[in-house]
Amino acid sequence: MDEKKQETYNHGFYEPNCIQKRTGKHAHQIKEVLAGSIGQELELKPGDWLLAVNGETVEDIFDYQFMIEAETVVLLIQKENGEEWELEIEKEEDEDLGLIFESGLMDEYRSCRNKCIFCFIDQMPKGMRKTLYFKDDDSRLSFLQGNYVTLTNMSEKDIERIIRFRLAPINISVHTTNKELRCKMLSNRFAGEALEKIKRLYEAEIPMNGQIVLCKGINDGDELVHTIEDLLQYAPCMQSLSVVPVGLTKYREGLYPLEPFRKEDAKQVLDVIHQFQKVAWKQHGIHFVHASDEWYLLAEEKVPEADRYDGYVQYENGVGMIRQFWEELEEALEQCRGDRRKRNVTLVTAKLFYPCLCQAADRMKEKYPNLKIQVIPIINHFFGESITVAGLLTAGDILEQLKGKELGERVILPSVVLKADEPIFLDDVTLEDVQRALQVPVHIVKSNGMGFIQAIIGKEKKK
């Protein structure tokens, strides 16, 4: 064995030893070392392996983050050549090491064990990219990405770690607090018992958000009332609860028979939610339960004012998107002087957001009267016409329905039509392919006020 070598750094020292190369489940390969970080200073490189922190193996990203939140940290690193380095680091308690790992989770993703009667993935056609068929039910993704989990995939150890590490908030797909009905809806005989974990988290004061996917004739009506009543007992620790209608595609052959909601159904759902909002406001000073925007559009009712959304805590669930868009648009228009510039553009959206986008186009033309704005709603033939959200539009449907139309200077699409990290549509067609097929520039815009205005008119100086 080589003679031990020690060098002093601002953040500590290392002692490398020659060992047999070893990797395993709890060895984590470093993908990137951030410039100027402690990791770079200690000469760590992409391809090195983290074997332990403070003498303990690291299960996942939460173990790692918890372990390095100290003033003194000891890393066990295996270099690419098989050497093993023990690094003692002295740093600020909340200072990061600047290490990025091959797996963001630092572990395998846990797939869903349920077979929910409303599962959207079961309603997808064959032949799409493999990642779209992965059913995740990993509680760790709830904290990292805001995913909703059913709690059926969580062990006692998982609950204890959440409490110990104070991980929050956790987003929970509840659907119903009727244990027997929950077992039926999730097709899992343990789904009812999993609800007890909500009580554990409540007692430990772990912030939570809840979700109900509402299925007509299943967990609506009195069942919905009972579920909201039960979950309201956990407020304000349970910060919010969203109610969203089940999404039904045309690929439901052999699946549980479910019906779409109608206008009168939506009105009844909103009545229940609005009644509980009054109760929650009186008891806790929050509105607690929120209806997704789809309910208001289906019921042909005006969406609530901004202060009814409690800071848009359920925004990613489609709750308050329309109201926030309008608030941002009006605020942005206040900053614009308006003029008589000419523009000819086409706005593309799905059926759900079409009326709102038409109104937004009209507001734009009040300030810029020479604008020519065409709004085209795309019918979802790929998944079925009952799917009305922009995030599930495909390039195929867009191209088919824009074919032969005069599109003006540019086509403007919402960012939700693309994969989060790549310019690719759900059907694996690239943005470049769409632009080439349309023969006009295609502009992707996020659903915020100023971004919307600038996509149409370009930049303008503020007042």
pLDDT in tens, 163-196: 988 888 989 999 999 999 999 999 999 999 999 9
Strand order across the beta sheet in which 442-445 lies? 371-378, 343-350, 410-414, 442-445
Tell me the pLDDT band of 461, cut-offs 50, 70 and 90. Answer: low
**pLDDT, tens only, 1-27:** 233 333 333 333 333 333 334 445 578
Distance CA 383, CA 392 (A): 8
pLDDT of residue 109: 66
pLDDT of residue 165: 81
Contact 33, 40 (CB under 8 A): yes
Distance CA 121, CA 316 (A): 18
Q: Is it the case that residue 132 has pLDDT exceeding 80?
A: no
pLDDT of residue 14: 36
Measured in degrees and rounded to the nearest 5, phi and psi for residue 17 equal -130, 145
Distance CA 112, CA 224 (A): 24
pLDDT of residue 419: 87
Distance CA 362, CA 253 (A): 42
pLDDT of residue 158: 84
Nearest to 85 by CA among 35, 51, 46, 61: 51
pLDDT of residue 110: 65
pLDDT of residue 356: 92
pLDDT of residue 113: 79
pLDDT of residue 375: 97
**pLDDT, tens only, 193-232:** 999 999 999 999 999 999 999 999 999 999 999 999 999 9
Nearest-10 crossing angle of helices 196-203, 156-165: 20
**pLDDT, tens only, 75-126:** 999 998 889 999 999 988 888 999 988 877 666 666 677 899 999 889 988 8
Nearest to 291 by CA among 274, 310, 278, 306: 274
Instruction: Give the torsion sign (CA, 214, 217, 219, 221).
Output: positive
Share of the chain above pLDDT 90, in %: 68
pLDDT of residue 18: 34
Place of tokens 């007992």: 233
- Look at the pTM and tell me if it is higher than 0.85: no
Amino acid at 167: L
Domains of the chain, earliest start first: 7-101 (2.30.42.10), 121-319 (3.80.30), 325-457 (3.40.50)
Contact 272, 214 (CB under 8 A): no
pLDDT of residue 147: 77
> Left if phi > 0, otherwise alpha if psi is -120 to 50, otherwise beta: which for 202?
alpha
Nearest-10 crossing angle of helices 354-367, 449-457: 60
Burial of 82 (0-12, 13-18, 19+ CB in 10 A): exposed
Summary mean pLDDT of the chain: 87
